Amino acid sequence: MFNIAAMVAIASDVVPVAAAYAARKRLPQDLLILAVLLCLYLGMDLVAATMALNGIRNLWLGNLEACVDFPVLVWIFHQWEPQPRNKAILRGLIVASIPLWALTQWQVGGIQRYNFAGRSIQSIVLSALAIAFLHRFAVYGDERPWTNPRFLVALAVLLQFAGSIFAFSFGFLMETKQMVAIWRLRNVMSTLSNLVFAGGFWCLRQSGATGG
């Protein structure tokens, strides 16, 4: 399933990492953590690509990524949430996410089996959090959203995970030929997401703003 779309998606991982490095002196804590996560994405995608090219199973890397990125991204949205009650709910979700993931991973048969059900749920939750932030920003936020780094980050998360809901919902086809076209769509959305992530970091370099 390693194709041109996958190669472009992996290459695009470099773009937000480079943009974050360029803005490194202006990164607030939340976006610094995001930059570290994007570096992790880049490293894991390179390892996964190398394994795929050598005919080595790499599904466990996707499971490891899902175990890490979900609590990190929820924490970032928690940092942006103004309502104490909602912040408490997100904290609870962060605490519960890893044991719940371990439980669903065990249910699907271990680390070597892709946890498509759990990843679909994660994608829905992260898409909902991104939509909620974008809605709040549209109502109360800056009149120039395209210059606000957090607006662009939330949009990138929405692109990445809303685009993934469809693909992960068909995870039971993971090792079949039918999955190639579905995964190609996810790679396209991932590439777009990386470009928007990069735009968020570039806003910091251009204006020194931290968003809100």
pLDDT band at 62 (very low <50, low <70, confident <90, very high): confident
In whole angstroms, give the CA distance from residue 181 to residue 203: 34
Burial class (CB in 10 A: 0-12, 13-18, 19+), 8: middle
Please report, as a single letter, which amino acid is at residue 8: V
**Residue range 100-141, pLDDT digits in tens:** 888 887 876 677 677 777 888 899 999 999 999 999 998 887
pLDDT at residue 173 above 90? no
Tokens of 23: 């803005």
Answer for the pair 170, 182: CB distance below 8 angstroms, yes or no: yes
Q: Which of 49, 53, 51 is nearest to 10 (CA)?
A: 49
Torsion of CA 183, 185, 189, 191, to 10 degrees: 70
Answer for the pair 105, 111: CB distance below 8 angstroms, yes or no: yes
In whole angstroms, give the CA distance from residue 169 to residue 203: 34
In whole angstroms, give the CA distance from residue 203 to residue 195: 12
Torsion of CA 190, 76, 209, 211, to 10 degrees: 100
pLDDT for res 1: 47
**Residue range 70-98, pLDDT digits in tens:** 999 999 999 999 999 999 999 999 999 98
Residue 97 CA: distances (Å) to CA of 102, 105, 166: 9, 12, 21
Answer for the pair 197, 156: CB distance below 8 angstroms, yes or no: yes
Q: Other C-beta atoms within 10 Å of 98: how many?
A: 13
